[in-house]
Amino acid sequence: MGKMIRVLVAKPGLDGHDRGAKVVANALKDAGMEVIYTGLHQTPELIAEAAVQEDVDVVGLSILSGAHMTLFPRIMELLKEKGGGDIMVFGGGIIPAEDVEELEKFGVARVFGPGTDTNDIVSFLKEKLHG
């Protein structure tokens, strides 16, 4: 077995739709990962700080409020600033295809849309992190 994968699952933005974030957090735990869940209404600053304190390998962001084009880049910027530039970032939520493209160009590893099989997220993370 490789190194333990540590994941921060965070819910930035003001909306309260945490169903997806919780389902993903549980699924990653069941797949043998250590998942730190930060709860709702998190500012980009708090998320980035938690990610470096917890020294996670990856941050999963769930955004359904339409603020993704602001929040993703902001969080990635802050991660870099705080010395967590090597932390992988992936996302999920209601995000139109053209925005997904732009986010991936910006360095978001992957955006999982509605209806994603959590197994796909698990295998994506394992492949990316354990190769």
Binding segment toward other proteins, per CB under 8 A, in 47-55, 103-111, 123-131:
47-55
Question: From CA 61, how far away is CA 66, in angstroms rounded?
Answer: 13
What pairing do the DSSP bridges indicate for beta strands 58-63 and 110-112?
unpaired
Query: Which residue, 32 or 101, is less far from other proteins as judged by CB?
Result: 32
Using rule CB under 8 A, residue 22 touches other proteins = yes
Alpha helices in 3-110 (DSSP H): 19-30, 44-53, 68-81, 97-106
Question: Which residue, among 107, 108, 104, 110, has the nearest Cα to 122 in the 3D structure?
Answer: 110
**Applying CB under 8 A, does 31 fall inside the site for other proteins?**
yes
Residues of this chain that bind other proteins (CB under 8 A): 3-4, 6, 13-19, 22-23, 25-43, 45-46, 49-50, 52-55, 64-71, 74, 82-84, 94, 96-97, 113-115, 117-119
